[in-house]
Chains A and B, each alone.
Chain A
Amino acid sequence: MTKMIFGRFLPGDSFVHKMDPRAKLLFVFIFIIAVFIANSTWSYAALLVITLLIMLMSKIKLRYLINGLKPVLILMVFTLLLHVFFTKGGALVVDFGWVNIYEEGIRQGIFISVRFLVLVFITSILTLTTSPIAITDGLEILLSPFKKVKLPVHELALMMSIALRFIPTLMDETDKIMKAQMARGSDLTTGPVKDRVKAVVPLLIPLFVSAFKRAEDLATAMEVRGYRGGEGRTRYRLLKWTMRDTLALLALLVMIAILVLLRN
Chain B
Amino acid sequence: MMNEILKLNNITFTYAPEQEEVKNAVEDVSFTVNEGEWIAIVGHNGSGKSTLAKIINGLLFTEQGTVEVMQKLMNEENLWDIRSQMGMVFQNPDNQFVGATVQDDVAFALENNGVPHEEMVARVHEALAQVKMEQFLDHEPQHLSGGQKQRVAIAGALALKPRLLILDEATSMLDPQGRKEVLATVRKLREDTGLTVLSITHDLEEAILADRLLFMNGGQKFAEGTPKEIFDLGDQLIELGLDLPFPIKMSKLLMAQGVSLQGNAMSEEELVNDIWISNFKK
Contact = CB atoms under 8 A, between A and B. Distances in A.
A224 B88 contact: yes
Interface residues of A, number: 30
Interface stretch (B115-123, B194-202, B250-258): B115-123
Contacts of A192: none
A226 B99 contact: no
B100 A217 contact: no
Contacts of B156: 225
B142 A168 contact: yes
Nearest to A216: B95
A214 B94 contact: yes
Nearest to A161: B100
A224 B57 contact: yes
Interface string B87-99: 0101010111111
B114 A236 contact: no
Interface residues of B, number: 39
A222 B160 CA distance: 14
A197 B92 CA distance: 32
A214 B100 CA distance: 16
A132 to B, nearest CB: 7
Interface in A45-90: none
Given A133-B100, A224-B59, A226-B80, A238 B117 contact: yes
Interface in A202-228: 213-214, 217-218, 220-228
Given A164-B100, A217-B90, A235 B111 contact: yes
A2 interface: no
Given A133-B100, A223-B59, A227-B112, A234 B120 contact: yes
Interface in A149-176: 161-162, 164-165, 168-169, 172
Nearest to B100: A133
A221 B95 contact: yes
Given A168-B142, A234-B111, 17 more contacts: A133-B101, A165-B98, A165-B99, A168-B140, A169-B94, A172-B142, A214-B94, A214-B95, A221-B98, A224-B88, A225-B88, A226-B112, A234-B116, A234-B117, A235-B117, A236-B104, A237-B104
Interface of B: 57, 59, 80, 83-84, 86, 88, 90, 92, 94-101, 103-104, 107-117, 120-121, 124, 140-142, 156-157, 160
Interface of A: 131-133, 161-162, 164-165, 168-169, 172, 213-214, 217-218, 220-228, 232-238
19 contacts: A133-B101, A162-B98, A165-B97, A165-B98, A213-B95, A217-B96, A223-B83, A224-B86, A225-B83, A225-B157, A227-B108, A233-B114, A234-B114, A234-B120, A235-B117, A236-B111, A236-B120, A237-B104, A238-B117
